[in-house]
């Protein structure tokens, strides 16, 4: 039995079909409560990478049949010494060396591009949480990587959210945030806030706990925010934002965003939530998240589940999420390998 790994072009529909089949089977087996991208959304996502990133995609085949896939992300504008890797092996073809072959390929791509570190994440079971396969952690350790950051995914079941409790939380947040003006939008960010969104988004790596992950702050400017918006729209994703404006300066000093895709209108990914360090302690994080939740629910009648990730030690953000009703589902370990 020989395993052959070869790159493919995202404009090759047959290869994308195979990558989609593998990704779907892996998600259903490993994280069955995740949304599964339909073929079209999967294809446009591959075809429209986020600005500032180059991806290399490859398939592993046994006797011509695609059994695993890898994608290597090579960031171009910052973090140019690391590569992030996603490997998925079809559940019917595991423990036959396919993961190892894909990993060797990814490693070669990274080394050839001058990268010094690899990182990826893998799901794990939390005490008392949903049972998840051990394979990701066992494989990561077998490849020589070290766990660098423990994260927890929490989900909000919006059908069980108590509107009365949310009202109370919102009233409390508003009283602590007196003077700040709340603004919301969907799709393209208004021109007056786009520089502030870029400034806030750039802070996330320095502000959120990163454990032993060696990453530098991302260089995000207005052009990159506009580029991200174009990509989200091309992928068919609907993004909902809220922010808080400081009355003294007119600047946006807190911001949150979540987005919903075409394949799974019942599901949203909670993206960044961040409050400018000079404006913390006014419940602005909770305020913009609750306002944004209601704003998104009013426009997405089928939305019932929102997933968010936090470093296990990010007590402040976790307490906001728990108060809103998010509950822990599974653990996600960020693994890092020095090449």
Ligand X SMILES: CC(C)(COP(=O)(O)OP(=O)(O)OC[C@H]1O[C@@H](n2cnc3c(N)ncnc32)[C@H](O)[C@@H]1OP(=O)(O)O)[C@@H](O)C(=O)NCCC(=O)NCCS
Lay out the site mask for ligand X across 120-159 (x = CB under 6 A, - = otherwise). Answer: x-x-----------xxx-xx--x-----------------
| In the block, residue with structure tokens 């509107």 | 163
Rounded distance between C-alpha atoms, residue 283 and residue 8, angstroms: 47
Structure tokens at 165: 């409790």
Which residue number, 140 or 292, has a Cβ lying nearer to ligand X? Answer: 140
Q: Is 21 in the site for ligand X (CB under 6 A)?
A: no
Q: Is 78 in the site for ligand X (CB under 6 A)?
A: no
Rounded distance between C-alpha atoms, residue 280 and residue 316, angstroms: 11
Q: Is 207 in the site for ligand X (CB under 6 A)?
A: no
Structure tokens at 311: 């470093």
CB of 75 to ligand X, least distance (A): 17
Which residue number, 139 or 180, has a Cβ lying nearer to ligand X? Answer: 139
Q: Is 30 in the site for ligand X (CB under 6 A)?
A: yes
Rounded distance between C-alpha atoms, residue 327 and residue 329, angstroms: 6
Query: Which residue of 39, 48, 61, 96 would you call a contact of ligand X, by CB under 6 A?
Result: 96
Query: Which residue of 86, 125, 263, 314 would you call a contact of ligand X, by CB under 6 A?
Result: 86
Q: Is 36 in the site for ligand X (CB under 6 A)?
A: no
* CA-atom Rg of the chain in angstroms: 20
Q: Is 85 in the site for ligand X (CB under 6 A)?
A: yes
Q: Which stretch binds ligand X (CB under 6 A): 38-46, 97-105, 176-184, 228-236?
A: 97-105
How many CA atoms lie less than 13 Å away from 47 in the CB half-sphere?
A: 15
Dihedral sign of CA atoms 318, 51, 113, 46 in order = positive
Dihedral sign of CA atoms 102, 107, 113, 117 in order = positive
Query: Which residue of 46, 62, 98, 197 would you call a contact of ligand X, by CB under 6 A?
Result: 98
Q: Are 180 and 246 in contact (CB under 8 A)?
A: yes
Contact residues: ligand X, CB under 6 A: 26, 30, 85-89, 94-100, 120, 122, 134-136, 138-139, 142
């Amino acid at each position: 039995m020989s395993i052959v790994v070869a790159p493919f072009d995202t404009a090759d529909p047959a290869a994308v079909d195979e990558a989609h089949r593998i990704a779907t089977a892996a998600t259903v087996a490993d994280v069955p409560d995740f949304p599964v991208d339909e073929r079209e959304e999967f294809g446009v996502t591959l075809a429209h990478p986020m600005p500032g990133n180059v991806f290399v995609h490859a398939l592993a085949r046994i006797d011509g049949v695609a059994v695993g896939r890898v994608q290597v992300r090579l960031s171009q504008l910052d973090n140019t010494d690391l590569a992030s890797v996603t490997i998925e092996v079809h559940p019917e073809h595991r423990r036959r060396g396919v993961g190892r072959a894909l990993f060797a390929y990814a490693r070669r791509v990274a080394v050839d591009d001058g990268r010094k570190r690899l990182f990826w994440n893998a799901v794990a079971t939390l005490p008392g949480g949903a049972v998840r396969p051990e394979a990701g952690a066992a494989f990561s350790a077998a490849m020589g990587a070290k766990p660098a950051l423990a994260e927890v995914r929490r989900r909000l079941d919006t059908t069980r959210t108590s509107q009365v409790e949310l009202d109370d939380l919102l009233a409390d947040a508003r009283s602590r945030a007196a003077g700040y003006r709340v603004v919301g939008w969907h799709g393209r960010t208004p021109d007056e806030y786009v520089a502030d969104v870029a400034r806030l988004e750039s802070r996330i790596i320095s502000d959120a706990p990163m454990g032993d992950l060696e990453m530098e702050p991302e260089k995000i400017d207005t052009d990159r925010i506009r580029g991200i918006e174009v990509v989200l729209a091309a992928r068919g994703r609907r993004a909902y934002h809220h922010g808080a404006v400081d009355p003294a300066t007119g600047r946006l000093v807190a911001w949150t965003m979540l987005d919903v895709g075409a394949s799974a209108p019942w599901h949203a990914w909670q993206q960044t939530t961040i409050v400018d360090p000079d404006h913390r302690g006014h419940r602005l994080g909770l305020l913009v998240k609750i306002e944004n939740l209601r704003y998104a629910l009013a426009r997405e009648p089928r939305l019932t589940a929102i997933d968010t990730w936090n470093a296990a030690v990010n007590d402040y953000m976790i307490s906001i999420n728990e108060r809103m009703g998010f509950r822990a589902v599974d653990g996600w370990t960020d693994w890092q390998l020095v090449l």
